């Protein structure tokens, strides 16, 4: 896991994150609208809280009573999607965003299968479909701006900054909240950590986020199998060649003995 | 005889016509128009059968060529050609199936150029590409031989041993990796199938399917082309099957016990039925049948052993790639008729290719009937199946049939857990959802109470113009106005400065 560990260290130093505080969301829909505008997506009629993640919705706000709960790409510290993609079409950038290079994509949809948060969405209705999801406003971040959703949030429910700093703020809020908050920052440890961190006063089970995820990065699950590839090649080659020689030799000896008799 | 033939042809023509139509819809209208796949269920029949089973059913090629060319077990030599041919056709069918499943099929070569060594799929792409090439070279020897191109045939045969070694390594890698694909979904795949040992299970079962498939295709070819069935050889293959299935079965028992999930067999639902049907066929049914000496030395007994192995592991691949993923998906996936017709077409074409090649390349010797003129079962017991074996075969198929009927019934009754929450309420059909008008408590020197309307203010600008910089957002219906100078330039005075917006008292204060 050396690769991931190095990657991790570098990431923790520089990467950006988002902190979403459920208690501060006013359900105004500004982030949802900003996402639609920035990604040039069609804006449906009707209540925005009914709009679920799809190939034309990368950020959804789900209504939980008077609260809103954000759903979008978590930009995992060690993203499952990027590790499973056979052509490296999904890439974890050093600023934290998980971006998609559609010119590489072969359309195998392994990312859709593998994502523990069920985020990547596929353009099923198109003849030549691509995967669509939030890209953390990569171009805006590179230009020194904050993501469109965070810039639009009027209430401070969505904070943008360095992930480590945001974690610090989150724990301060939990401590100052005197039990208002669930005593856990969702995304701090889930699948090895995510860039989108969630603070909530709604029990995690009701939040609509998976609560059965391991605390270790998902890519290690397949990597543990893949590290055996060189071993299989070398050992397998040696053993098979040895067996071939041995059985051949045995036959030769056998034939020679028969001749003597 | 004539009537049966014409019904068969009618079926074939229907399948091919439906398949071609579905392929056209898939190519020109896309996956959404032709399949029942969705974001919740992105892999279906084409991955579960065409790719996973296509590759597994082709495993006889590396198994038998290993036995013959590496272990010098010459008794299997008469079977190796048929196995290599099945392998080659199986891989071609899997690749064609994959072409229909990929969103961008013309980019199928991308993994060879655009590397991601951390992806199991990347490794599979490379291995399958290389191994199909290996099979093509091995297969070409038969074609050269038939065309009497002696030099070319000899050249292809000369590199047989290194090719076979390479083939075994590549097969070991990608047969197991097809199982590793599902290591990444621990939170989605049902615990009856999710196991860290998935790659080992897939490899061991591929070995068994390889043996089983060789038996099945030898039997069917001997029936279809009136060719000799090498019962002695197949029966020693049946013995190998017992060992492989035994090891596989033991590994699965240890795994299920180790993870403590046996109780799931008692939990009602389609998963349990499909799981029981799967293990009842392979390893249990096939292994017990092949342990009976009479069944192992009998044509029908061998065929049934091979068929149970193949059917059991096809069910296994279906369960890992589909059945086990249903409950976590929040949806119900049933393949569309177009998906089914494309898959059937591939099967029909693959079988037809095998038949044509088997005849033209003469891969089977000519047939002799088992019982010669005047012989009865007593003279040659291996020609007839004993009663216990017959009963066992019947019992297994009846039990599996009942389990599958049960699974279908459970599945039909299954309601996917809606991804809805108790607290979810639908708001008014507009956005944003603005708070109600706020009324500030007037101070002693106020000319009248002030009401603030989000509606009118929102029309003038974005939420962020005021929030959260100047005004923090508070619980609905509350405000922070009390005891503050709202006229100050950092509050209402920001806009109500007499220039941009009026600062007349009556603009905000309700003067009595």
Nearest C-alpha of chain A: how many angstroms from B270? 21
The CATH number of the domain covering residues in A2-221? 3.30.70.20
pLDDT tens digits for B141-189? Answer: 888 888 888 888 888 788 889 999 999 999 999 999 999 999 999 989 9
Check if A30 contacts B (Cβ < 8 Å).
Answer: yes
Pairing of strands B438-440, A59-64: unpaired
A128 contact B CB<8A: yes
ipTM: 0.91
Q: Is A255 on the interface with B (CB under 8 A)?
A: no
| Whether B451 and B399 share a structural domain | no
Query: In which residue are the tokens 């390349």 written?
Result: B361
B299-318 vs B270-279: helix crossing angle, rounded to 10: 150
Asked if B182 contacts B56 with a C-beta cutoff of 8 angstroms, the reply is: no
Using a CB-CB distance cutoff of 8 angstroms, which residues of chain A are in contact with residue B108?
Answer: 106
Structurally, chain B folds into a number of domains equal to: 2
Q: Among A102, A108, A153, A250, which would you mutate to test the B interface (most chain B Cβ atoms within 10 Å of its Cβ)?
A: A108
- List, as ranges, residues 62-101 from A with C-beta within 8 Å of B: 62-66, 80, 83-89
CATH code, domain with B496: 3.90.10.10
Which residues lie closer than 8 Å to B233 by C-beta, 6 or more apart?
B75, B76, B78, B79
Are B67 and B118 members of one domain?
A: yes
The total of other beta-carbon atoms located within 10 Å of residue B214's CB is 26
The residues that bridge with B457 in the sheet, in sequence order, are: none
* B264 and B117 together in one domain: yes
Q: What is the pLDDT of residues B9-52, one digit of tens each?
A: 888 899 999 999 999 999 999 999 999 999 999 999 999 999 99
Q: A-chain residues within 8 Å CB-CB of B28?
A: 127
Angle between the A219-226 and B120-146 helix axes, to the nearest 10 degrees? 40
User: What are B109's two structure tokens?
Assistant: 């070569």
Is B245 within a domain? Answer: yes
Query: Helix, strand, coil shares of chain B as percentages rounded to 5?
Result: 65, 0, 30
Cross-chain Cβ contact B120/A221 below 8 Å? no
Same domain, B155 and B233: yes
User: Does B372 reside within a domain?
Assistant: no
Residue A38: predicted pLDDT: 93
Whether B448 and B352 share a structural domain: no
Residues A49, B427: contact at Cβ < 8 Å? yes
To 5 degrees, how large is the angle CA B63–CA B67–CA B69?
A: 110
User: Counting beta carbons within 10 angstroms of the beta carbon of residue A177, is it exposed (0 to 12), middle (13 to 18) or buried (19 or more)?
Assistant: middle
Q: What is the DSSP string of B425-445?
A: ----SSSS-PPPPEEEPP-TT
Q: Do B181 and A110 touch (CB under 8 A)?
A: yes
CA nearest B166: which of B60, B92, B70? B70
What's the residue count for chain B? 512
A148, A140 contact by CB (below 8 A) = yes
For residues B398 and B458, state if they share a domain.
no
Domain ranges of chain A: 2-221, 228-260
Give the CATH number for residue B251. 1.20.1630.10
Residue A223 touches chain B, beta carbons under 8 Å: yes
Alpha carbons A55 and B39: distance in angstroms, whole number: 9
User: Is B444 in the same domain as B361?
Assistant: no
Per-residue pLDDT of chain A (261 residues; tens, 9 = 90+): 344 444 544 445 568 999 999 988 888 888 998 999 999 999 887 778 888 999 999 999 988 877 789 999 999 999 999 999 999 999 999 899 999 999 999 999 999 999 999 999 999 999 999 999 999 999 999 998 999 999 988 888 999 999 999 999 999 999 998 888 999 999 999 999 999 999 998 888 888 898 888 888 999 999 999 999 999 999 999 999 999 999 999 989 999 998 887
pLDDT given at position B422: 36
Could you tell me if A211 and A204 are in contact, meaning their C-beta atoms sit under 8 angstroms apart?
Answer: yes
Of residues A49, A155, A213, nearest to B467 (C-beta) = A155
> Same domain, yes or no, for B305 and B345?
yes
Question: Which residues are bridge partners to A162 per DSSP?
Answer: A16
Secondary structure element (H or E) that encloses residue A63, with its range: strand A59-64
| Contact: B103, A210; criterion CB under 8 Å | no
Do B138 and B190 sit in the same domain of this protein? yes
Range of the domain at B445: 431-512
B233 and B318 both lie in a single domain: yes
């Amino acid at each position: 896991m050396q690769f991931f560990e190095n990657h991790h260290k570098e990431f923790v130093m520089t990467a950006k994150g988002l902190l979403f505080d459920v208690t501060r969301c006013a359900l105004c829909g500004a982030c949802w609208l900003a996402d639609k505008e920035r990604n040039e997506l069609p804006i449906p009629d009707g209540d925005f809280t009914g709009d679920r993640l799809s190939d034309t919705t990368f950020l959804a706000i789900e209504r939980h009573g008077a609260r809103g709960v954000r759903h979008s790409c978590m930009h995992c510290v060690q993203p499952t999607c990027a590790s499973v993609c056979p052509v490296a079409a999904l890439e974890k950038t050093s600023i934290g965003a998980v971006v998609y290079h559609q010119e590489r994509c072969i359309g195998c949809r392994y990312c859709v299968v593998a994502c523990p948060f069920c985020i990547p969405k596929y353009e099923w209705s198109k003849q030549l479909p691509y995967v669509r999801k939030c890209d953390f406003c990569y171009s805006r971040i590179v230009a020194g701006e904050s993501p469109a959703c965070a810039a639009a949030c009027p209430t401070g429910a969505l904070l943008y900054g360095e992930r480590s700093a945001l974690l610090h703020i989150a724990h301060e809020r939990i401590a100052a909240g005197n039990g208002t908050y669930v005593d856990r920052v969702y995304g701090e440890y889930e699948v090895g950590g995510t860039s989108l961190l969630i603070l909530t006063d709604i029990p995690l089970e009701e939040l609509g986020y998976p609560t059965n995820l391991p605390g270790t990065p998902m890519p290690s699950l397949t990597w543990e199998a893949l590290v055996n590839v060189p071993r299989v090649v070398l050992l397998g080659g040696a053993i098979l060649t040895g067996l071939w020689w041995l059985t051949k030799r045995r036959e030769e000896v056998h034939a020679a003995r028969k001749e003597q008799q | 005889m004539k009537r049966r033939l014409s019904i068969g042809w009618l079926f074939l023509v229907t399948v091919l016509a439906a398949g071609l139509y579905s392929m056209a819809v898939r190519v020109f209208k896309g996956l959404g128009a032709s399949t029942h796949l969705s974001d919740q269920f992105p892999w279906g029949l084409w991955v579960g059968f065409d790719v996973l089973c296509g590759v597994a059913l082709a495993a006889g090629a590396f198994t038998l060529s290993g036995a013959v060319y590496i272990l010098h077990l010459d008794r299997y030599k008469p079977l190796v050609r048929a196995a290599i041919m099945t392998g080659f056709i199986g891989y071609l069918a899997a690749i064609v199936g994959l072409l229909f499943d990929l969103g961008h099929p013309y980019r199928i070569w991308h993994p060879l150029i655009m590397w991601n060594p951390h992806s199991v799929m990347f490794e599979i792409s490379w291995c399958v590409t290389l191994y199909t090439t290996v099979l093509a070279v091995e297969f070409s020897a038969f074609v050269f031989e038939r065309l009497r191109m002696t030099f070319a045939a000899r050249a292809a045969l000369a590199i047989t041993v290194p090719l076979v070694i390479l083939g075994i390594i590549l097969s070991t890698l990608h047969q197991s990796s097809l199982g590793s694909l599902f290591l990444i979904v621990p939170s989605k795949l049902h615990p009856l199938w999710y196991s860290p040992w998935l790659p080992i299970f897939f490899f061991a079962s591929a070995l068994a399917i390889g043996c089983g498939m060789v038996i099945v295709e030898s039997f069917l070819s001997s029936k279809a082309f009136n060719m000799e069935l090498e019962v002695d050889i197949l029966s020693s293959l049946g013995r190998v099957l017992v060992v492989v299935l035994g090891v596989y079965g033991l590994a699965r028992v240890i795994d299920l016990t180790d993870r403590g999930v046996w109780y799931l067999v008692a939990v009602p639902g389609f998963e349990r039925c499909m799981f029981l049907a799967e293990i009842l066929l392979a390893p249990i049914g096939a292994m017990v049948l092949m342990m009976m000496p009479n069944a192992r030395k009998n044509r029908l007994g061998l065929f049934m052993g091979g068929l149970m192995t193949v059917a059991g592991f096809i069910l296994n691949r279906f369960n890992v790639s589909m059945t086990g993923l249903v409950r976590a998906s929040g949806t119900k996936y049933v393949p569309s008729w177009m998906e089914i017709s494309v898959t059937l077409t591939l099967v029909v074409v693959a079988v037809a290719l095998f038949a044509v090649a088997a005849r033209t390349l003469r891969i089977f010797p000519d047939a002799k009937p088992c019982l010669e003129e005047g012989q009865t079962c007593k003279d040659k017991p291996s020609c007839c199946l004993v009663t216990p074996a017959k009963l066992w075969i019947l019992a297994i198929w009846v039990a599996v049939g009942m389990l599958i009927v049960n699974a279908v019934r459970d599945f039909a009754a299954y309601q996917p857990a809606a991804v809805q929450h108790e607290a979810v309420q639908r708001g008014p059909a507009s956005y944003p959802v603005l708070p109600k008008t706020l009324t500030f408590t007037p101070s002693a020197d106020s000319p009248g109470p002030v009401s603030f309307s989000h509606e009118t203010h929102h029309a003038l600008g974005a939420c962020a113009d005021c929030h959260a910089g100047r005004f923090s957002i508070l619980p609905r219906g509350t405000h922070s106005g009390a005891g503050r100078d709202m006229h100050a330039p950092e509050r209402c005075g920001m806009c109500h400065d007499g220039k941009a917006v009026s600062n007349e008292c009556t603009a905000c204060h309700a003067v009595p």
